[in-house]
Amino acid sequence: MSEVVVKTRVRLARNLKDYPFECRLNADEKKEIAEKVCKILEKSEYDFTRYDMEKLSQVDKIALVERHLISPEFVSNNAGAVALISSNEEISIMLNEEDHIRLQIIKNGLFLEEAYEIADKLDDILSEKLEFAFSEKLGYLTQCPTNLGTAMRASVMLHLPALQKSHAVVRIGNNLSKLGLTIRGMYGESSKPSGALYQLSNQVTLGISEKAAIENLKNITNQLITQEIKSRASLSSDISVVDTVSRSLGILKTARIISSDEAMNLLSNVRFGVSVKLLETLSLDSIDELICEIQPASIMKKYGTELTVSERDIKRADFLREKLN
């Protein structure tokens, strides 16, 4: 149901047994770890591009964050901090983020098992050559104790315009923690929901298998999909909602200056409109792509890194008019 589930993400954290955790590593040790991992993966079937954080500009780093390929925290890491990103951007591996290795699989739509399978395979490739910090009792050892155990975080990015409109997301969020899940903004911890995009993820990594955690997340996701679709159906016949959807596309097609926040909200309305067949000429994929492309650093990468905020807002409007007209 890609109307509701924009992306699936599975992330595994691993640390090498013979090194202290990241916060205790010096630059040389970080580089050593990075080289070891890179060397193994170079020989794998995957085609990775290597990004050394210390060599990237701030804009390039933030553009990777906007595409969900690295974490916001990774931007401030430097020496020895390396990201390996597969050509289709489905796999990204951060080395020396909070843990020595964080491997992440992203898929469009709801594909939790499939994403986990790829993560598991990469984990096998690495564990053949590397000895991970592991305890029989605690499972994988991680710098932050909240990840101990499976060290797996599985998440789905959900588009919930209808549940947001009815304020149901807040109520749902309050209940989810009892189920070992959490829901938050699209850029993870402490980010605000923008464009009705939410990230639902498992919180519990200890005392539960990867499969069980994924099963749990999938069940709740399916429940949310059902609720969202049901709410959308009743909204889609409401003339004020139809009006909002239609105007949103009208504004995106004609604005000459637009902030990323406003664009996100309008694109969210349009995405909703496409999903309930109010708008027929656009695809969900093209809107999801736009949602990435209109982010500030992505605009700067395209049009120039020296842009002021209002110049960027003008370029964003130009870009949207070009893409949508």
Q: How many CB atoms lie within 10 A of CB 104?
A: 25
CA distance 38 to 95: 9
Asked if 256 interacts with a second copy (CB under 8 A), we say yes
The radius of gyration computed from the CA coordinates of the chain, to the nearest angstrom, equals 21
Residue 62 CB, nearest approach to a second copy (Å): 25
Residue 315 CB, nearest approach to a second copy (Å): 12
Q: Helices (H) and strands (E) in the chain — how many of each? A: 11, 10
Asked if 246 interacts with a second copy (CB under 8 A), we say yes
Asked if 250 interacts with a second copy (CB under 8 A), we say yes
Residue 278 CB, nearest approach to a second copy (Å): 10
Nearest partner of 320 among 231, 254, 221, 224, judged by Cα? 254
Residue 298 CB, nearest approach to a second copy (Å): 21
User: If residue 10 lies in a helix (H) or strand (E), which one and from where to where?
Assistant: strand 5-14
Q: Which position among 242, 259, 284, 318 is part of the footprint of a second copy (CB under 8 A)? A: 242
310 contacts: CB under 8 Å, gap ≥ 6: 257
The distance of Cα 119 from the centroid of its chain, to the nearest Å, equals 15
Stretch of residues binding a second copy (CB under 8 A), selected from 69-77, 92-100, 126-134, 251-259: 251-259
Asked if 237 interacts with a second copy (CB under 8 A), we say no
Residue 254 CB, nearest approach to a second copy (Å): 3
Q: Which position among 211, 254, 261, 302 is part of the footprint of a second copy (CB under 8 A)? A: 254
The distance of Cα 272 from the centroid of its chain, to the nearest Å, equals 20
Alpha helices in 147-209, H assignment, sequence order: 161-165, 168-176
User: Which residues of 162-315 form beta strands (DSSP E)?
Assistant: 181-185, 197-202
Q: Which position among 94, 235, 317, 320 is part of the footprint of a second copy (CB under 8 A)? A: 317
Q: How many CB atoms lie within 10 A of CB 269?
A: 24
Q: Which position among 239, 277, 280, 281 is part of the footprint of a second copy (CB under 8 A)? A: 239
3-state DSSP call for residue 176? Answer: helix
Asked if 261 interacts with a second copy (CB under 8 A), we say no
219, 206 contact by CB (below 8 A): no
CA distance 73 to 288: 24
Q: Which position among 88, 240, 281, 283 is part of the footprint of a second copy (CB under 8 A)? A: 240
Contact pattern from residue 213 through residue 232 relative to a second copy, giving x for each residue in contact according to CB under 8 A and a dash for the rest: --------------------
Residue 271 CB, nearest approach to a second copy (Å): 16
Residue 287 CB, nearest approach to a second copy (Å): 16
Smaller CB separation from a second copy, 127 or 254: 254
Q: How many CB atoms lie within 10 A of CB 26?
A: 11
Q: Which position among 122, 235, 249, 274 is part of the footprint of a second copy (CB under 8 A)? A: 249
Asked if 257 interacts with a second copy (CB under 8 A), we say yes
- Tokens matching residue 280: 């027929």
Smaller CB separation from a second copy, 220 or 249: 249
CA distance 202 to 209: 12
- Tokens matching residue 191: 């980010």
Smaller CB separation from a second copy, 58 or 254: 254
Asked if 282 interacts with a second copy (CB under 8 A), we say no
Residue 101 CB, nearest approach to a second copy (Å): 47
> Which residues make up the interface to a second copy (CB under 8 A)?
239-240, 242-243, 246-247, 249-251, 253-258, 310, 314, 317
